[in-house]
Structure 1
């Protein structure tokens, strides 16, 4: 029997709310963070295009188990639409495909916004990660194929016009999972009869994280830089201590779920997969999903039925 390979990296866990710069892809960002932290595992909660900046939540270690909960959260974007041109990619990257001399007025734009609020149907861009017959749409688009991508239901909580001048308009949108902001720019341009594409895009929030949680690449590189003393002594633990201070606890992604506080003894039983009785006057009696925590640390996600916590997913750290 072959021996299992030793895991590479540190068993560090938590969420890094990364302020991704323009020009860096989401996969590249995850690889950079994983390397800086020397983490065993890493993943992100929601792709950002290279031309977009802003919040890219990156999960390390055990936090990767909570990625779906962040993926389902609401997101807020601030974006600029340049009117008069439609592009193949619906942003600055692709060539111009349609042009117009028309420029919409602020009144025309505001009158259109209700059409893009609530539950609507949206067709993703040709250059997107949607799979068509097993292949990514952007791969087919790069080969010159025009593919039919079916429209799908998305939800827009709000769409606000922030400013409009010189043929450009700035918007802020709060939206649900699966929304393509590039498609919003494209479709609004078509409805206004002037065409449009994304000129700037920044994601400012991913529920439950806020702008106060953002950590820049410069902050991380400064934290990772060994001092003269640590280089002399070979004390790399100091370097990682500064980096780990930038992380949010794994449970930060689940603060909106019902919370159950347990003892260390109960935590040990739950980690073995055993259901336990939930005690306490304020403990929920029923919940499809809830968090069990001990000493402020996430122990498990599970269901509460008739006063019993039944673990579905346990966490080792």
Structure 2
């Protein structure tokens, strides 16, 4: 059973909860997910099964779209509504001020990782430092806000759509918007509506899956989104053995086939951009 299922994660479940549930349902151990959603969040969670677990890093790297709702004038230690309130104030901002502050974050910026996260520093998860009240320097990541637009504003509640690169924390983005405004802001709702090619319209609840009302995306179907080439006599042995080959493609990834059978996914070799190396051996 090698493939992908697009799950619509429900609120208050962790991504690991979903994996464990489907692990028991499908009675298989080779199962994972491509991109953690906080318990508060709902929406697209890509589940990988069998050989497709090797695609996790590739799937995680896809851009992600969210519908996020924040409350202005409120700060918490977790940057979302589940955390402890650290400050609260009245807000008197107009639409243009809020819009300008939201649009300020379009493009690339250095985003500080929230302390309530599973990112490790010196072998220890950040949330462990927080729970033990220990100080730690929070790492920063270069992230890209590719699109952002306000959907509606109702007093201090703002809902917006955002398209982001891998590694972007939406609750950190909201915290940064709040700091830029000067009043603070906290995430109160988050829906992941899209990841790469897959939309929430393509997703299924756990109830759908256990009642056999879902679509299973097979490995070969997923690979169709990538450019491809047939192996030939000049590279067959090298590719089948997972060796370096001369790079003959401009795209980030290329799938090599033997007839209808996928053999490997190749990517550029960082140490020599004239060469390509296997990203994943399929057979």
1:247 equivalent to 2:207? Answer no
Contact 1:59–1:67, Cα closer than 8 Å, also in 2: yes
Structure 2 Cα separation of the partners of residues 304 and 88 of structure 1: 41
Q: Which structure 2 segments of 5+ residues have no match? A: 270-274
**One of 255, 266, 272 as aligned partner of 1:291:** 255
Report the alpha carbon displacement of residue 312 of structure 1 after superposing the two structures with TM.
5.5
Structure 2 Cα separation of the partners of residues 47 and 134 of structure 1: 19
Structure 1 Cα separation of the partners of residues 177 and 120 of structure 2: 25
Report the alpha carbon displacement of residue 262 of structure 1 after superposing the two structures with TM.
6.7
Q: Secondary structure at the match of 2:137?
A: coil
Contact 2:7–2:46, Cα closer than 8 Å, also in 1: yes
Q: Per-residue displacement from partner, 1:157-208 (whole Å, max 9, x unpaired)?
A: 0111110013100011100011010011111112112211000001111113
Q: Per-residue displacement from partner, 1:34-78 (whole Å, max 9, x unpaired)?
A: 221122401111110011001111110100111111111100010
Q: Secondary structure at the match of 2:210?
A: helix
2:280 paired residue number: 313
1:260 equivalent to 2:249? Answer no
Contact 1:41–1:64, Cα closer than 8 Å, also in 2: yes
C-alpha spacing 1:53/1:303, structure 2 compared with 1 (3 Å): closer
Contact 1:70–1:208, Cα closer than 8 Å, also in 2: no
Decide which structure has greater strand share.
2
Report the alpha carbon displacement of residue 31 of structure 1 after superposing the two structures with TM.
1.1
Structure 2 Cα separation of the partners of residues 292 and 302 of structure 1: 8
Contact 1:85–1:96, Cα closer than 8 Å, also in 2: yes
1:175 paired residue number: 164
Decide which structure has greater helix share.
1
Q: Which has the larger radius of gyration?
A: 1
Report the alpha carbon displacement of residue 273 of structure 1 after superposing the two structures with TM.
2.3
Aligned residues: 277
Q: Secondary structure at the match of 2:20?
A: helix
Contact 1:270–1:314, Cα closer than 8 Å, also in 2: no
Structure 2 Cα separation of the partners of residues 100 and 312 of structure 1: 50
Structure 2 Cα separation of the partners of residues 158 and 55 of structure 1: 18
1:78 paired residue number: 67
2:117 paired residue number: 128
Q: Which structure 1 segments of 5+ residues have no match? A: 1-11, 224-241, 278-283
1:215 equivalent to 2:215? Answer no
Contact 2:129–2:135, Cα closer than 8 Å, also in 1: yes
Moved over 6 A (4+): 268-271
Contact 1:123–1:150, Cα closer than 8 Å, also in 2: yes
C-alpha spacing 1:192/1:72, structure 2 compared with 1 (3 Å): same
Report the alpha carbon displacement of residue 79 of structure 1 after superposing the two structures with TM.
0.6
1:273 equivalent to 2:236? Answer no
Normalising to structure 1: TM-score of the pair? 0.78
Report the alpha carbon displacement of residue 294 of structure 1 after superposing the two structures with TM.
5.6
1:199 equivalent to 2:226? Answer no
Q: Secondary structure at the match of 1:48?
A: coil
Normalising to structure 2: TM-score of the pair? 0.86
